[in-house]
Homo-oligomer: A and B are copies of this chain.
């Protein structure tokens, strides 16, 4: 199967919203703290439409046979005041449809994002992953990420 990695255009919004809905549903299964995709859809579409033209945002899609089967969102943002770098990279979204995984397209999108981050002098990339999302944690570890903080929660 042949894949093409390219930057998302406004025409891809429907497809990306669809993929994000799957990602939301995956999290919902892990923890009822997350909204199901049916409830995040509308807000995510609005958010996506706003960020897609921003210069500090890079949205990549993986396409095969004219079908978008994965996407990554990277942003360059001001770092917290207590850390050394002024700006950091963030990978806020990363998703590949299940049957297209292990094909290397995640790695291709990731490498492309890293090139963009480096070109913009970014030296640190952060992301958050659910602690029970073993697939995600393993993938990020394979890409060189290390856990450095835990997000904890108390449900009253």
Hey, which bits of chain A sit against chain B, CB under 8 A? 24, 27, 31-35, 40, 43-44, 47, 81-84, 114, 117-118, 122-132, 137, 140-141, 143-156
Are A140 and B125 in contact, CB atoms less than 8 angstroms apart?
no
Interface of A, secondary structure class, is mixed
Given A43-B81, A82-B35, A84-B34: A148 in contact with B156 (beta carbons within 8 A): no
**Does the CB pair A35–B83 fall under 8 Å?**
yes
In the complex, the answer to whether A44 meets B81 with C-beta atoms within 8 Å is yes
Contact A155 B124 (CB under 8 A): yes
Contact of A150 among B24, B122, B151, B155 (CB under 8 A): B151
User: What is the chain B residue whose CB lies nearest that of A85?
Assistant: B33
Q: Complex formed: what's the CA distance from A82 to B114 in Å?
A: 26
Contacts of A122 in B (CB 8 A): 156
Tell me which of B24, B114, B117, B151 contacts A127 (CB under 8 A).
Answer: B151
Task: List 4 other contacts, CB 8 Å, given A117-B156, A126-B152.
Answer: A32-B84, A44-B82, A129-B152, A146-B154
